[in-house]
Amino acid sequence: MKTIQLYRDKDRKWLYISEKQILNKPLVFVFGNRYLLEEPNIYKDINKIFPDGDIILGSTAGEILGNNVYDETVSVTAIEFEKSSFIIHSKNVKNYDGNFQKLGEDLSSEFPKNSLKHLFIVSEGSTVNGSTLIDGLEKNLSKNILISGGLCGDDARFEKTLASYNSLPKEGEVVAIGFYGEALEITCANYGGWTTFGPERTITKSKDNILYELDDKPALDLYKKYLGDKANELPQAALLYPLNLRLKGSNETLVRTILNIDENNNTMILAGDVPEGSTVQLMMSSVDDIAEGASKAAFYAMKNRTKKPELSLLVSCVGRKLVMDQRTEDEIEEVIEVIGKQSVTAGFYSYGELSPFAGQNDCKLHNQTMTLTLISE
């Protein structure tokens, strides 16, 4: 495996953090600030550097490159696989009228199943219901093919997100990369580091990812009551106080971030499904807890590996970044300490993370976690 990493800030000068070399038909991950990705020449500039590359673009709430976290940049990680291969397909939500499960089904059906090892997703993050997207993706895959990735971000603005494959970035795009080859070893894991507080309340009215009522009371009113003065800062303030979701009839819990609020209907729109009969509880965290959570995610991802990773794709939640503030890089350093400095590290801060729980095969939508996908040949 050969790699090149570089980035560009608002001054439009490309800076390499690795040695320049010629790559043959590389996979090129481009993670960047939404405003910079909207510049008309950005795709052309990257295509000029990697004329035979397969280029994936995704907007972020912060870029991870090496052991650093950047804001308002465009980061590039290009990979030439020497013993394996990849195939890329994409779909757009505008062609599916809100049927995210059908989009997922159609997308995963396009991948040949022979020698498919893993599916990595870079998805639009503004409107997609990540839970139903995963359901659709998994319908055409065998249990041993794992899915990981993330929902694109837009800092803490929640205005729109962008993604694309070999084209100018656009709204509504969902991109999937299928990795192939017997030489590949790919593992993934996630962990949060958040603590619950306050009463546990039952979801009495919801539809998909829209939360209407808790304990037969308007959910948004209750949430604002707990936030106090911070309610004036919604929806951004919700990133600091996500919901711990306990599914009905199960001990399994998931974290759900509030992506937006609807004042007219007194509802909250979350990144994934919130089924009726499930319970939710507020969560909070600290800098140290989040850093420790990142370390645990790395430990779980490394636990059953036979080889050290050569490439590590990190997807962490924008809410974690807001809590960490000036110490955001602490969680990246914790990850690198576990996975080793031999690995090339890249990724982004997201509106949602996709990964199975450690030791499981079924992919889940997570919020407020550090998610790792570790790759070696």
In total, how many domains does the chain have? 2
Q: Which of 235, 264, 283 is the last residue of a domain?
A: 283
- What is the end-to-end Cα distance of the chain in Å, rounded? 7
Pair 276, 314 in one domain: no
Higher-pLDDT residue of 205, 229 = 205
Q: Which of 257, 283, 309 is the last residue of a domain?
A: 283
In this model, does residue 117 exceed pLDDT 80? Answer: yes
Pair 205, 318 in one domain: no
Write out pLDDT tens, residues 168-200: 999 999 999 999 999 999 999 999 999 999 999
Q: Which of 261, 283, 305 is the last residue of a domain?
A: 283
Of the candidates 146, 154, 92, the one whose C-alpha atom is nearest the C-alpha of residue 348 is 154
Pair 123, 49 in one domain: yes
Write out pLDDT tens, residues 250-300: 888 899 988 888 999 999 998 889 999 999 999 999 999 999 999 999 999
Q: What angle do CA 307, 311, 315 make, to 5 degrees?
A: 120
Q: Which residue has the tokens 């095969």?
A: 361
Q: How far is CA 253 from the centre of its chain?
A: 18
Pair 205, 183 in one domain: no
**pTM attached to this predicted model:** 0.91
CB-CB contact of 356 with 365 (8 Å): no
Pair 130, 16 in one domain: yes
In this model, does residue 11 exceed pLDDT 80? Answer: no
Pair 199, 176 in one domain: no
Pair 308, 200 in one domain: no
Question: Stretch 216-223: mean pLDDT, rounded?
Answer: 93
Rounded to an integer, what distance in angstroms lies between the CA atom of residue 136 and that of residue 85? Answer: 24
User: 238 lies in which domain range?
Assistant: 195-283
Pair 361, 216 in one domain: no
Pair 367, 262 in one domain: no
Cα separation values, 58 from 92, 184, 209, Å: 14, 24, 23
Pair 12, 97 in one domain: yes
Instruction: Please list the residues that pair with 180 across neighbouring strands.
Output: 85, 116
Write out pLDDT tens, residues 240-258: 899 999 998 888 889 998 8
Token code pair at residue 340: 């080793």
| pLDDT for residue 127 | 87
Pair 31, 174 in one domain: yes
Write out pLDDT tens, residues 37-82: 999 899 999 999 999 999 999 999 999 999 999 999 999 999 999 9
| pLDDT for residue 239 | 85
In this model, does residue 231 exceed pLDDT 90? Answer: no
Higher-pLDDT residue of 317, 258 = 317
SS3 155: coil
| pLDDT for residue 337 | 97
| pLDDT for residue 313 | 98
Pair 203, 239 in one domain: yes
Q: Which residue has the tokens 């990724």?
A: 347
Of the candidates 69, 7, 27, 5, the one whose C-alpha atom is nearest the C-alpha of residue 317 is 69
Write out pLDDT tens, residues 98-113: 899 999 999 999 999 9
Residue type present at position 281: Q
